[in-house]
Structure 1
């Protein structure tokens, strides 16, 4: 395929077993730039977190952050999708009242907020949210600018957490984004629609997009691409819909596939 845009999930996909961008990626990024191929991480992670992870990229790259609720191109936000405040309040109350061990992260474009302050929870939150602030009451930060609510559980997100959150927010887009994370967004928000907005900004066709993913929050991303790869470590549902299977993230599968496609291996 003649691809002009590469979008890849981060955790379980591009990031290696040390949760780092593989060293070999940076040479590939320069190779893509030389071929006029755009690159964008497409992640559930916070925009500030992604920007920090890609500081080494030098010139600006595009970002699909917070599971598609924030899209950045040429250094500017070109798409921002907020979630209804009533849904956010409902989730906060539901988590507080639940017997399941959960914690809430309320995400706004510039910062994420938590009220739970135990070290174990904050350690998990800081992995994905470098701009993280503790507040006394999460209800007070719900101001119409919330783009996502992330719920972390030390239990099984898909089995134990997601059903409770779906019941509390039946009109929202509730996705399991990891083994211990559930993300809640506006029904219109997902990585696939974000990819389409970025593609339009670049003046590209769907057939010119190449994507990589591994978990359920990558479903629409894979469906919106011209060519899609699921990592071999991907969720079974993602393996079932992707065009091809890449080696696992621990084997740096994104790097392997891109190097082959770019003729740089």
Structure 2
């Protein structure tokens, strides 16, 4: 395995019982797929010693569609950590204030009318009909259940999160444009083309804390994988932190281990090595 040991904490990896991995840029390759044979071979030894969870901005139903039957008995932490599902049963949901959400939508439209706004609810993701066709294809990459409407201002459903897709890749700048909402909302640009916005008290870290409490597994027995800025809270709640070789430098600095990049099956390869070391 082409990996860089940053410190010596890995001598104790026999302790990990909970594995949490991001999807885009981490578990999935650049085409949004993964090596199913390799992952299937990992599942039996992995389940024998611990619990595996996906933690992603993708809609829960999209994760189920991508992973297929192999998602059985795996926790899916989806919609930017606002939902947790196990075998089709929802066990955790967090929404944001709907009035604040509508104010946010109005602000986003003023920043740039070409921004794609995705309003996620427990049932579906809403997108306006006026969105460019090429941007709609990006939406379907992360959302399985999508409903197109004429105006997002007419929505009455509870809002899990609001996501922005920018085909101009200016999201790091747009986070600053939304600073007035930071007291009420958690706003993070996972990468240059995507912003995820949830309630102030919700991020990957707080939701992992909920799962750890539910399973009675502490941070000391948790290993996480990530590549983006939205994985920072995830890293803060695990003793073992693995950044992909393609991860942002700031995340790599927080990691114990740098794994192969997402196009080289880095998550599965790393777990196979660690499972062998733990025997």
Matched, 1:153 2:148: no
CA shift at 1:202, angstroms? 1.6
In structure 1, the partner of 2:35 is: 22
Aligned mates of 1:233, 1:32 — CA distance in 2: 24
Residues 118-137 of structure 1: per-residue CA shift (max 9 Å, x gap): 20110110100010110111
Aligned mates of 2:137, 2:87 — CA distance in 1: 32
Q: How many aligned positions are there? A: 262
In structure 2, the partner of 1:3 is: 16
CA shift at 1:168, angstroms? 4.9
Q: Structure 2: any 5+ residue segments left out of the alignment?
A: 1-12
In structure 2, the partner of 1:258 is: 271
RMSD (Å) for aligned C-alpha atoms: 1.8
Using structure 2 for the length normalisation, give the TM-score. 0.88
In structure 2, the partner of 1:127 is: 141
Aligned mates of 1:250, 1:66 — CA distance in 2: 23
In structure 2, the partner of 1:178 is: 191
CA shift at 1:231, angstroms? 0.7
Aligned counterpart for 1:93 among listed residues 106, 110, 117? 106
CA shift at 1:157, angstroms? 3.8
CA distance 1:70–1:58, change in 2 (3 Å): closer
Matched, 1:162 2:203: no
Using structure 1 for the length normalisation, give the TM-score. 0.93
Q: Structure 1: any 5+ residue segments left out of the alignment?
A: none
Task: Give the secondary structure class of the aligned counterpart of 2:49.
Answer: coil
Aligned counterpart for 2:245 among listed residues 207, 232, 257? 232
Which deviates further from its counterpart, 181-190 or 78-87? 78-87
Bigger relative contact order, structure 1 or 2 (CA pairs below 8 A, ≥6 apart): 2
> Do the aligned residues in 1 keep the contact of 2:60 with 2:83 (CA within 8 Å)?
yes
Aligned mates of 1:58, 1:168 — CA distance in 2: 35
In structure 1, the partner of 2:150 is: 136
Aligned mates of 2:268, 2:138 — CA distance in 1: 26
